[in-house]
Amino acid sequence: MKKPAKIEPDGNSMLLRASAKRLFESLMEQTTDRIYIKDKKSRFISCSQALADMHGFKNRHDLEGMTDFDLFTKEHAQQAYEDEQEILRTEKPIINKIEKETWEDKHITWVSSTKAPLYLKSGKLAGIIGISRDVTNEKIAQERLAKSEQRLREQNEVMRSDYESAQNVQSVMIPGRVPQIKHLEIAHLWKPMTLVGGDIINFPRNPSNRLLFFMGDVCGHGVTAAFYTVLIKYLTAHSAEVYNDDPRDFLDSVNKGITGRINNGFVTGLAGHFEARREDGSRNLIVSHAGHRQVLVYRKENYSVELIDLPNSTVMGIPGTTASKANTIDLHIGDRFFAFTDGIIEASDLEGNEFGNKRMMDRIKALAGKPIQETIDTLYEEVSAFTQSPNQQDDITILAFELT
């Protein structure tokens, strides 16, 4: 390979080489960095004009012979002195150390300092050379960010604590008191998507002392939806105090209390009661709904499952809406009634296929030999397995009755 031609230095280059001292002086006068050279006693031998300006000196040579003790408080000066003496002892540099500078007027600045041992041409250790760059603004920004992050962590901790408290309250509130009724088994499952949810079941007391039930689903998830379940719990209890054996009036009363109080949302609901048991053990279940139209009935006589579409209605929380007219479902000994929120039938597998009514009906039929509570518990487990996901996609609630 041919060697590149050697370029001879021109006159300007030779002049610059001959003026190394002047180049150094020019650097010290024009750089914005705080450059300094100190002897073994940490006295300034030379420094940049930027360093002199920072300390209020017009001429950088005015600092020569001074130490940090002449410029800073003892707190900073002592630390700087000890660092420099350690460099001289070990001959190891300090690279980009963040230093706190404390001044006589009490204000504080921060610098990033690099200090290294300085040797004579003979190799003898003569002192140190250092460069300091002001990082006060960056340090303040970092401290503000750290404080902001700390506040955020504290707020998150408060939110987590509040979230757990809400979970504890909701787990007691839903379903609350579950009546004990002869010849009637009651089963329920309430699984919010997160710690708290927007589904609700309750059995409000009423003047006729009937088994009155309500199941609702607040639009949305999480804490906001959970707050509304508290309101609904109160409204259902209040409306039940004047229950007239018509679940439609009951739902309309709850709707009146909800309307205008749920921002950009709505509630679906299903309510009903059991009439007195007849001699053959059968009973009528009277139900009405508001946007919660479908229920399932397992018939023991012929081992079949019916999907019952209740009369049309509208959801609650929207002005001018009403619940469906009351509907009578005749149940016999061994029959089972299932009501559920849409979180179970809309649960999807990895390909987007929903669990659906058909699959749910088949599973209810297949699980008919199990106790009714075990039936809905197993059904929930099968839905979870169907989705193949550790994360539940929606709140899931099931309410079931069996005549015995």
Contact between 384 and 396 (Cβ < 8 Å): no
* Domain CATH for 381: 3.60.40.10
- pLDDT tier at 281 (50, 70, 90 boundaries)? very high
In a domain, 12, yes or no: no
- pLDDT tier at 404 (50, 70, 90 boundaries)? very high
Same domain, 260 and 187: yes
* Domain CATH for 118: 3.30.450.20
Picking from 103, 134, 165, the residue at the C-terminal end of a domain is: 134
- pLDDT tier at 10 (50, 70, 90 boundaries)? low
Both tokens assigned to 363: 């599973």
In a domain, 321, yes or no: yes
Helix segments in 55-193, DSSP class H: 74-90, 136-173
pLDDT tens for each residue of 64-107: 999 999 998 898 899 999 999 999 999 999 999 888 888 888 88
Contact between 361 and 379 (Cβ < 8 Å): no
Neighbour tally for 231: CB within 10 Å: 16
Whole-angstrom Cα distance, residue 85 to residue 95?
15
Contact between 52 and 26 (Cβ < 8 Å): no
Torsion sign (Cα): 196, 198, 202, 207: positive
- pLDDT tier at 139 (50, 70, 90 boundaries)? confident
Same domain, 101 and 169: no
Same domain, 232 and 379: yes
Whole-angstrom Cα distance, residue 251 to residue 288?
8
pLDDT tens for each residue of 284-314: 999 999 999 999 999 999 999 999 999 999 9
Residue 289 domain boundaries:
174-403
pLDDT tens for each residue of 369-380: 999 999 999 999
Closest CA to 223 of 196, 191, 261: 196
Both tokens assigned to 155: 């707020």
Same domain, 96 and 226: no
Neighbour tally for 194: CB within 10 Å: 15
In a domain, 11, yes or no: no
Whole-angstrom Cα distance, residue 369 to residue 143?
65
Same domain, 128 and 213: no
How many domains does the chain divide into? 3
Torsion sign (Cα): 254, 200, 308, 292: positive
Percent of the chain past pLDDT 90, that is, above it, reads 61
